[in-house]
Structure 1
Amino acid sequence: MTVYLLRHGATEWSDTGRHTGRTDVPLTGVGEERARQVGGLPKDVPVLCSPRSRAVRTAELAGLTVTEVTEDLAEWDYGDYEGLTTAEIRESVPGWTVWTHPCPNGETAEEVTARARRVLDRVQDAVLVGHGHFSRVLAAVWIGQVAGFGVHFRHDPATVTVLGHERESPQIVRIGVSS
């Protein structure tokens, strides 16, 4: 079983560090160009995609045919912190990170972990097209960790992380590869 995680291309908000969960922000020109350059993805497996246009467009530009659009692959719901940068949030909550602190009126780390488990439990070989924080949670859950462990991974826009196995042990085969 191999799962490919494709993060959407760059948006104005991702370039400026704004937390972008529910807001539907389009790709930038650079985001579109880098999405076109994504390679190494299988064409003969199911492709599940977040419903946000930045993810759907990235899949299209990468030459993928989306077989299912699902809210289960949406980005972490940042609640009241939607559209804010970490620096802005830290003005009122010193030391805040999405990995260690709550998002008022958004998802908890436990809820995001459960959603990631639900996604991974229902796929075999597949491409999952989504978002930065949630893809990092998927990688953490794949190796038996919780959402907060995602802090240890980097997943830039329009890059691929590959989840697989070494014998029976879940393994991160590649992380944040651009082609």
Structure 2
Amino acid sequence: MPGHLYVLRHGETEWSLSGQHTGRTDIPLTANGEKRATDAGAMLAGLRGDKPLALVLSSPRTRAVRTASLAGLTISETTEDLAEWDYGEYEGLTTPQIRENVPGWTVWTHPCPGGETAEQVGTRAAKVVSRVRAALPDGDVILVGHGHFSRVLVATWLGRPPAAGVHFALDAAAISELGDERGVPQIRRLNVPPLPERGFPHA
């Protein structure tokens, strides 16, 4: 049977706690973020069992690479294709701060001056999905990345437009599992929080 795709969002950072948009800025995990990343590794091991692992890709940002390491993963490659949405001039700002000047702003419906559009993020996600599908016949694939980009990736997996990512919540250190049912793309699990080291029962 072909493998499944597991998407792991990086652990908690100070900016994920405050709601600041964190794209290019390279900030570390909090102490709790490190603990939850370790727990996510136990969860992943429980979900996957002894199935072969074909590929582990990570964003190059420190918060993603550190999460992968704490989760016990050996990264095959880091790639900018998995980087977070480039928020341009809105980097480091919260949505309420942006809305002081742009009422009703969301990353899904409005531009990020100097940053990426939803369509550009979707193009990157499509490249990642294509690479994942090429690897799945050899086993599972794990992607370690970021919140907004991973939500676009889930939408892309389902054949939906990038802005449909608004419908999928992805918390820090949470795991999602994507697959297919008789050729139809499927969400098998979404936004599963990590449990302590006891892991998770096999599916």
Task: Indicate whether the TM-score tops 0.5.
Answer: yes
Q: Residues 108-130 of structure 1, C-alpha deviation per residue, up to 9 Å, x if partnerless?
A: 11100111001110123310000
Q: 2-side partners of 1:147 and 1:92: how far apart?
A: 25
Aligned to 1:40: 44
1:3-18 to 2 correspondences below 5 Å: 3-18=5-20
Runs of 4+ in 1 over 3 A off after TM superposition: none
Q: State the AA in 1 paired with 2:102.
A: V
Matched residues, number: 179
Q: 2-side partners of 1:46 and 1:20: how far apart?
A: 26
Aligned to 1:151: 166
Aligned to 1:131: 146
> Structure 1, unaligned stretches of length 5 or more?
none
1:65-104 to 2 correspondences below 5 Å: 65-104=74-113
| TM-score with structure 1 setting the length | 0.97
Indicate whether 1:23 and 2:32 are aligned. Answer: no
DSSP-derived class of the 1:48 partner: strand
Deviation at 1:40, TM superposition (A): 2.1
Q: State the AA in 2 paired with 1:92.
A: N
Deviation at 1:101, TM superposition (A): 0.5
DSSP-derived class of the 2:53 partner: coil
DSSP-derived class of the 2:191 partner: strand
Q: State the AA in 1 paired with 2:125.
A: A
Residue 55 of structure 1: which of 64, 83, 95 is its match? Answer: 64
| TM-score with structure 2 setting the length | 0.86
Q: 2-side partners of 1:40 and 1:54: how far apart?
A: 18
DSSP-derived class of the 1:57 partner: helix
DSSP-derived class of the 2:74 partner: coil
Q: Residues 20-47 of structure 1, C-alpha deviation per residue, up to 9 Å, x if partnerless?
A: 0000010000000000001124472311
Structure having the higher helix fraction is: 2
Deviation at 1:170, TM superposition (A): 0.1
Aligned to 2:197: none
> Structure 2, unaligned stretches of length 5 or more?
195-203
Aligned to 2:198: none
Q: Residues 150-170 of structure 1, C-alpha deviation per residue, up to 9 Å, x if partnerless?
A: 110110000111110111100
Bigger Rg, which one: 2
